[in-house]
Structure 1
């Protein structure tokens, strides 16, 4: 279609655009459902082959299949299966050296006849490297070289002209995800393992950050004895900048807490009264909420949310006050 034809065509109305979207999605869903129905022992064979790889899974593919391959390699690598992507055209010009005898290759091509890919297949086989193929043609050059062939073919593309890789690339991507999920399960990959490979992400912070990493240490935590007067307690609270003050017994164990909100409610509840002679023991909240220093920071966040408080005390293994953490500390650490 020429530029003039494109500019002169009228834009479909909203109903037509939505109908086109639903048709495309229905086509891709149908392709995935058909592929799921075809799954057989070859999928398990492919998983075992990749699971037995002593090196890395080298993913390769050309064009749109290459874009899918990069995502599959990233998913494998982040879920416990070391992987990398090698561009097949670059492989012919030196990057084939990135593949070692300890590796396995996952090659992706809908037609199975991409020139850049087929030219390196004999070299891969000569190295004795296991080869898993994701292809839509069981009789293709790629399929003939593969140790295991996973059928990712679709009846038609979502493209109205049945040309642009759409449903076929969705099928490739989904099969890659299926492999990654099966592999992570077989490896016993847990959320903590995922967090370790995503330390900069929100999940990593939630699963790796401990209270001791974000809390205010004992020397920065305002603390007084229960016998302290209200003015003494207020001075400690103001100096600490926590919005609360901890009350501890002679052994350093927290027995109460008093917050800015408690002070406001105390003043509102006793208008005109002289509060200066009140002691901390008379106004504190007894049995304050606390969390261990080794606990996950997200546990402190959940405790605050559950009890609608903005600060929790931190205790050591002996139950002695070790510090405090409030919602601002957790926000700064991007735990919440």
Structure 2
């Protein structure tokens, strides 16, 4: 039965793809030209599908929301304007709650798209455009429970959202702006300045600072490194916990060393306005766990390590 269900729904979607034609393109153009929003409506299972379609449209660049048809006739119709496009979903096209508000939608001047399995239905006759979601049979063995028909509605809604996304030139950064809590949003919207340590939290010493002072600065700031900066505040080098271990392994006399003697030059740096994910790439390529943040004049303004990126879920 499970295999049969999937086979029936696959055939339903294949038939749906074969029927796409000029009406679908006209709906895409109407939504692109819409000065309002797409208002999705549907009852029962079609309503559940409609909520998903509205959410997908909204997250891919087409402002949309769902209005329950039964609530619309009790005040929620005030959410509609004449600038909107209404997408009404009903397999039969004869749902009483939808039929009751069709005249009001027409009086408002909103354009109406019917997504229905019956192109001669009441809903279809009132619509400006009809998108056929007809299926030969439901996957339900009684041919009653909405199964293949709701799969067709869902796929048709996805096709509409993706066609609109493509027509708008909606890209990764646009997607991130509507998904700031998602991983892509964090990667594309979080900048180094949002995460970096600044001010006294940034470990730094002068080139002539003693190794003892350098180690105290590292320990006090807890980042596992200290920047060595010149009088203008520009980083000339960096000293890390790993550098200290290597000095000890070599048996170096630590008593008379200063910062410039133990630092290694060419520290990894990044700009505050860069994306945090760019800092992660610098760390990965350089096989380091920290970067120094500089301004346009090359002066040290902050510091960032891999723990900061992990806490922000950038990596």
Could you state the TM-score of these two structures normalised by the residue count of structure 1?
0.88
Gaps (5+ residues) in structure 1?
Answer: 1-19
Q: State whether structure 2 residue 203 is matched by structure 1 residue 198.
A: no
Mapped partners of 1:184, 1:131: distance in 2: 20
Are positions 1:174 and 2:155 aligned together?
yes
Matched ranges for 1:61-210 at <5 A: 61-210=42-191
Aligned equivalent of 2:216:
235
1:1-336 equivalent positions in 2, closer than 5 A? 20-270=1-251, 273-336=252-315
| Greater alpha carbon shift after TM alignment, 288-297 vs 223-232 | 223-232
Query: Contact conserved, 1:291 with 1:312, CA < 8 A, in 2?
Result: yes
* SS of residue paired to 1:285: coil
Report the Cα distance in structure 2 between the residues aligned to 1:301 and 1:282, rounded to whole angstroms: 29
**Structure 1 range deviating more: 299-308 or 210-219:** 299-308
What SS is found at the alignment partner of 1:155?
coil
Q: CA deviation at 1:108?
A: 0.5
Distance 1:218 1:207 in 2: 26
1:218 and 1:322 in contact (8 A); partners too: yes
Q: CA deviation at 1:30?
A: 2.4
Kept in 2: contact 1:53–1:103 (CA 8 A):
yes
* Preserved contact between residue 223 and residue 245 of structure 1 (Cα < 8 Å): yes
Partner of 2:130, secondary structure, is strand
Q: CA deviation at 1:246?
A: 0.8
Name the CA shift for 1:157/1:263 in 2 (closer, same or farther; >3 Å). Answer: farther
Equivalent-residue separation in structure 2 for 1:67 and 1:116 (angstroms): 15
- Partner SS, residue 262 of structure 1: helix
After superposing the two structures, state which structure 1 stretch, 195-204 or 165-174, moved more. 195-204
| Structure 1 residue 289, shift from structure 2 partner | 1.0
Distance 1:65 1:237 in 2: 62
Distance in structure 2 (CA, Å) of the matches to 1:229 and 1:22? 74
Asked whether the equivalents of residues 218 and 321 of structure 1 are also in contact (C-alpha less than 8 Å), the reply is no
Checking the alignment, whether the CA contact within 8 Å between 2:83 and 2:109 is kept in structure 1 is no
Superposition deviation, residue 236 in structure 1:
1.0
- Bigger mean CA offset, 170-179 vs 121-130: 121-130
CA distance in 1, matches of 2:166, 2:306: 35
User: Does 295-304 or 26-35 show the bigger shift?
Assistant: 26-35
- d(CA) in 2 for partners of 1:253, 1:73: 52
Superposition deviation, residue 310 in structure 1? 1.4
Instruction: Tell me by how many angstroms 1:127 deviates.
Output: 2.5
The answer as to whether partners of 1:218 and 1:324 remain within 8 angstroms in 2 is: no
Superposition deviation, residue 250 in structure 1: 3.1
Q: TM-score, normalised by structure 2?
A: 0.93
Q: Which moved more, 1:245-254 or 1:290-299?
A: 245-254
